[in-house]
Amino acid sequence: MIKVIDLFAGIGGIRRGFEQAGKRKIKCVFTSEWDKFAQKTYLANYPNEKIWGDITKVSLNDIPLHDILLAGFPCQPFSQAGKKEGFNDIRGTLFFDIARILSEKKPKAFLLENVKQLKGHDNGRTLKIILERLEKLGYKVFCEVLKARDFGVPQNRERIFIIGFLDHSIDFKFPKPLKKNVKVGDILENKVGKEFTISDTLWAGHQRRKNQHKLNGNGFGYSLFDKNSEYTNTISARYYKDGSEILIKQKNKNPRKLTPREAARLQGYPESFKIPVSNTQAYKQFGNSVTVPLIEAIAKKMLKFL
Q: Is the pLDDT of residue 111 over 80?
A: yes
Among candidate residues 67, 165, 87, 167, the one with its CA nearest the CA of residue 130: 87
Name 146's bridge partners. Answer: 159
CB-based burial label for 175 (10 Å; 0-12, 13-18, 19+): middle
Give domain limits for the chain: 2-180+287-303, 184-269
Q: Both ends of the chain: CA-CA distance in Å?
A: 10
Q: Which residues are catalytic?
A: 75
The backbone torsions φ and ψ at residue 129, rounded to the nearest 5 degrees and listed phi first, read -65, -45
Q: Is the pLDDT of residue 86 over 50?
A: no
- Strands, DSSP E only, in 193-273? 224-225, 247-248
Q: Is the pLDDT of residue 253 over 90?
A: yes
Which amino acid, 290? V
2-180+287-303 has which CATH code? 3.40.50.150
* More confident position, 294 or 218: 294
What gap in Å lies between CA 174 and CA 143, rounded to an integer? 9
Among candidate residues 27, 28, 30, 32, the one with its CA nearest the CA of residue 9: 32
Query: Each residue of 195-238: pLDDT tens digit?
Result: 999 999 999 999 998 888 777 777 678 899 999 999 999 999 99
277 Cβ partners below 8 Å, 6+ apart?
A: 37, 40, 41, 285
Its pTM surpasses 0.85? yes
How many helices, marked H, and strands, marked E, lie in the chain? 9, 8
Query: Each residue of 129-160: pLDDT tens digit?
Result: 899 999 999 999 999 999 999 999 999 999 99
What gap in Å lies between CA 294 and CA 299, rounded to an integer? 9
Long-range CB pairs of 252-258 (<8 Å, 24+ gap) are 253/197, 254/197, 254/198, 254/199, 254/200, 254/203, 255/197, 255/198, 255/203, 255/222, 255/224, 256/192, 256/196, 256/197, 256/198, 257/196, 257/198, 258/196
What pLDDT does 76 receive?
Answer: 60
> Lowest mean pLDDT: which of 59-73, 134-148, 212-226, 239-253?
212-226
CA angle, 95 then 284 then 299, to 5°? 55
Helix (H) / strand (E) element for 111: namely: strand 109-115
What pLDDT does 75 receive?
Answer: 65
For 184-269, give the CATH class. alpha beta
179 Cβ partners below 8 Å, 6+ apart?
A: none
Which amino acid, 208? R
Proportion of the chain above pLDDT 90, given as a percent: 80
